[in-house]
Chain A
Amino acid sequence: MKIFFKLTHHETDPDSIEYGLLPDARFKKSEVGINISPEIIMAQKAIQEFSAKKLIHQNISKYTDHFFQEYQGVQITPDNVDSISLPDFDNGYVAKPDELFGKRGKNNLIFMSNNKTEIIQWIKQKSSQTIKLQVSSVRTIQGKLFTFLVEPKIPHEKEFYLSISSQRDHNVIYFSNKGGVDIEENWNDTIELKIPFTIEPTPLPKLVLDKISAQLSENEKDIVLTFIDALYQLYCELDFTYLEINPFVLTDQGIQMLDCVARLDDTAYYKNSLIWGRAGITFPKPFGGEALPEELVVEQIDSKSGASLKLKVLNRNGSIWMLTSGGGGSVIFADTVGDLGFANQLANYGEYSGNPSTDETEEYADIVIKLMLNSKAKKKVLIIGGGIANFTDIKKTFIGLISAIKQNSQQIKRQGIVIFVRRGGPNYEEGLQLMKTEMQNLDIEAHVFGPETYMTHIIELAVNKL
């Protein structure tokens, strides 16, 4: 079974030292986009190359005595770019952005020099520009670069490819002695090895080691097999979910990883916090994924709450504004807007679920409503939608929604915004009645429905108002 993202997408740049990165492996939709199903915990998260390498260097000695020297890479951010003094490297420096994306060579984002000052100047120059990234033939992303990685340039000959990934009942290793920029062309020489899953780190079976061994020359065997075996156990122990090293090379100083892509299971943070912390593991936002201030506020409320509150603005000047609840349900409301041909009018995606408090709901709704009031669309509708909740208290959350509407009622009325409501669940009758009465009092046009009305019917009604 091929596990990833066909290598045909993989564009390489022979003029650079971009070592055969699998762009899709770096650039997951989920990393760029928004979590549309918050019931699903975003367990697998990409980490920076810098911290991935540090994590491996700091811990691999647990599984091998082989010489594996201290990691020499330096991370450069806006905080330290003016104060940093780079260490002396014999063979010069390589600088590249460390922002969870690949194709850095292709995008002219790798710089080599023997001069420290030049390296820092290049970094300053790149971080002052807005960078447009071509991530696939149809897809570009814009943004600013913040984090860079500077490493010693390592002269070498042979390049090896290694990846480890997780499946339901086994892990998969891909290995090739023809790694580097040509991994794509040489994919047929890559061997695939399946290892049954065990929760305790277990040395690789002899059969697997034999297969890798057959790809190696006598003087490589010992060190490469030890490295892979140790790395595999580290992968299991430290809750990696994906690890790709392309390439690693053999030097007099032992194994050197030239590039590294890794994802960790962030739900395992609590058991790895010390080790991950020592390596400075963070789960940064992907490149170009800078959030609006409003989205950041929601993120803050979300992080403090036991409930789930999410917001992503899709179109600041959209007509259809969503105050939908439930991970699964909110997606279906957004789907229906699209299915009826109004995707371009959809202003935001968002959801609140898990029984948020009245205050949290009010704060969240106020943010969405203010964004809506600022939209330049001529006609606007507000969708307060949700399925039939298992345990979210409808009355409680609706009181929050109503007070947010009240705070902004003058403008809502002036702009002629129409509100559509559909919801069910604990105390829904009281919640819906309250909504009806209050909207009448405020003289705001609102259409309120309960579980007897098909969930997405309000979307049909709403788009007719546009």
Chain B
Amino acid sequence: MSLDVLTIITITPIFTGLILLLMPQILPKEISSNLVKVTRNISMGIALGIFVIATMLFFGFIGDIDWTNIMQGNYVLKNDPFSLISSIGVQWKVGTDALSFPMIWLTTLLIPISMLVEWDAKRGHLFHPLLLIMEGALLGVFVSLDLFVFYVFWELTLIPMFLLILVWGGNDRKYAAMKFFIYTFTASVFMLIGILIMYFHTNPISGLGSMTGHHFDLVEMVAQENLIPSEGLRHFVWILLLVGFATKMPSVPVHTWLPDAHVQAPTAGSMLLAGVMLKMGAYGFLRIAVTLFPESTIVFIPLLIFLGMASLVYGAWVCMGQTNLKRMVAYSSVSHMGLIFLGIATMQPLGIAGALFMMFAHGIISPLLFAVAGAFKHHYHTLEIGSMRGIAHHSPYLSGHMMLGWMASLGLPLMAGFVAEVAILIAFWMEFGWLVMLPALTLVITATYYLTSMQRTIFESDDPHHGILPDTLNGEQPRDITWHENTGMFILGLLTILFGIFPFIFWDMMSSWSTGFVTETLVEAMQNKDTWNSNIDWLMEVLK
């Protein structure tokens, strides 16, 4: 049982986080009162170390992996599986591929940035270790190839996030935290039933499941021919899984926990919630539901399109009426997650690659938006969009980041979000023709609400030199953002532009993976669909 790199980057933050959390309780009072600085430096060091490891993995310094050539069904950086609860067939089995690696890299990136943005958080001796535990739990979701362990990590992410909202949240934090926990937990127990039904249809493997004769190994489940014989049951399981994943994503009509959680969560919590936790839903949907039950996915494509369209249009429409900055960004997340469903529904390599890139791009843009909103709250003590005007005068850096983030989110070319939107829309057009008008026109709504609020907060002012300051400042002069907020936002903004101009950094591996995914997994299931084959190569070349 030798430890491999994925196990190390998953386990290290959890253990160090727990130790750092317990340290103030064990040490005597005189020492523990000075612990905040030490704790946050250690946390930051570990988070940065893990980020460096993930980056080195990507560039091939560790492991020497050719990321663009991972076929679907193959995993790299696999470990030597060992059993955790062998009597019911649970084992520690990790691995990654082009579907999960961008998410892993994103997680390792966002944790140090959110630590940096909330460098001065109150009760820092608890805040930063909690973020570390969060990192371990999120990485565990993305690396584990055993559904039991996957589920455990899936639920484990709830606890640090629950505490983050509860301890560092806004005024209405109790309600938001409870709603968040109960909503997502309820949804995921339905997913658990789906997983258990699959579990009982697995063939026995020697050495696993001595008591039950079944196992939770995802790779073996995918390899097993005809996992669930009854088609009706297959659809039922697919729907159970969808309930869990769609609630996490979140998709209309189960999205209502998201705005509350976001508005009440601290900045770092919102950043992680929007940046990574929402992607867990899309990731799980692709990794489990679509991979195991491609036929059911094809049967339910109309449902997916309906959910995607509803989220996209409803989210954007509701955004127009929001006066709360964070609530607006939260609903825009709902809207963008709808695009991911549309991308998957195309069942085309381009659409799925677009969905993957959307997951990644939204994972760097929305944390930027939430960091901006958090800084706004921090320095202006309000989130109301109309309550002040002309902040470009008072906080030039803040308004710069705000503009960049909003522009990226509305899909401006040369920004990361644009690549994903275009890919999804092209694939959608190829598959469903003029139906594409609806999502395309929704992007106009997106532009409308962003531009309106931009005009109302950043620029418009009766007095060009002073602007209107909100009442919550009580007449004080607002300051611009602090250096650590500025640095965090600057990195995120830089990456937004970087991945807009050079999307191929991740796009290559995503597109080759999704081509393999479609040909390997979906091609049998979609023999009556041949439109995707002809134009696809040409379009891929164009996008490269």
A and B associate: no
Residues of chain A whose beta carbon lies under 8 Å from any beta carbon of chain B:
none
